[in-house]
């Protein structure tokens, strides 16, 4: 445990938690989008874009504060990297939503819900983990569970691709669906990257 006699600005933990809260919003809106009719998708897609803009604003707030703070509670590069990784999670979810709206997909395979359920759980766990960075406690269960969920997402992704190649006869439709599914898989990978960064920070700070 490292001790410091210099006051450190701990508001970064609140800012990271605020940034992570937008991931929960985005993942839940993705779930809404999946169950919506084609006519409803555009409005939900707009709400996801707004959540992505809010997440961007949260990222910029953290970066500005880093530039104006002399002593930070964690390594400066670790805070910046973690914030950037959180932003990537939101970007991939917003991209997947945008593709669904832009491609005007007639039907989305039901198994996509498995991917989105994983993202929703990852978002919730990530939000819960951020406050624990203050004391670096109770974090191991977080990164272990995120890694397990990412493995689950990998399996769901492979099964979904196999099903799509069997069931979708229109090659253009297949290409569109594949891009959506791949982007959702990238989102799951991004959440694992966040968890791996948290593990590295916790080990460094212990």
Q: What is the pTM of this model?
A: 0.93
Please tell me the CATH superfamily of domain 11-205, with its number: Phosphate transport system protein phou homolog 2; domain 2 (1.20.58.220)
| Helix, strand, coil percentages for the chain (3-state, nearest 5) | 85, 0, 15
Mean per-residue pLDDT pooled into runs of 10, the chain (206 residues) = 48 94 97 93 96 96 92 92 98 97 90 95 97 90 97 93 93 96 97 97 87
Contact at 8 Å (CB) between 119 and 24?
no
Q: What is the reported pLDDT for 26? A: 97
The DSSP secondary structure of 118-172, one letter per residue, reads HHHHHHHHHHHHGGGGGTT-S-HHHHHHHHHHHHHHHHHHHHHHHHHHHH---HH
């Amino acid at each position: 445990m490292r001790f410091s006699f210099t006051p450190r600005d701990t508001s970064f933990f609140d800012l990271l938690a605020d940034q992570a809260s937008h991931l929960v919003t985005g993942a839940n809106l993705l779930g809404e989008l999946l169950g919506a009719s084609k006519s409803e998708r555009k409005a939900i897609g707009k709400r996801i874009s707004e959540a992505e803009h809010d997440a961007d604003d949260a990222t910029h707030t953290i970066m500005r504060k880093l530039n104006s703070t002399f002593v930070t509670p964690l390594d400066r590069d670790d805070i910046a990297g973690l914030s950037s990784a959180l932003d990537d999670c939101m970007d991939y979810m917003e991209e997947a939503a945008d593709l669904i709206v832009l491609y005007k997909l007639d039907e989305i395979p039901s198994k996509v819900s498995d991917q989105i359920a994983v993202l929703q759980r990852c978002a919730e766990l990530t939000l819960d983990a951020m406050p624990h960075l203050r004391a670096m406690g109770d974090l191991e269960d977080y990164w272990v569970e995120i890694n397990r969920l990412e493995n689950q997402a990998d399996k769901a992704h492979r099964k979904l691709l196999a099903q799509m190649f069997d069931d979708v006869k229109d090659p253009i439709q297949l290409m569109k669906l594949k891009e959506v599914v791949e982007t959702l898989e990238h989102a799951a990978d991004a959440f694992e990257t966040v968890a791996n960064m948290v593990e590295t920070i916790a080990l460094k700070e212990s």
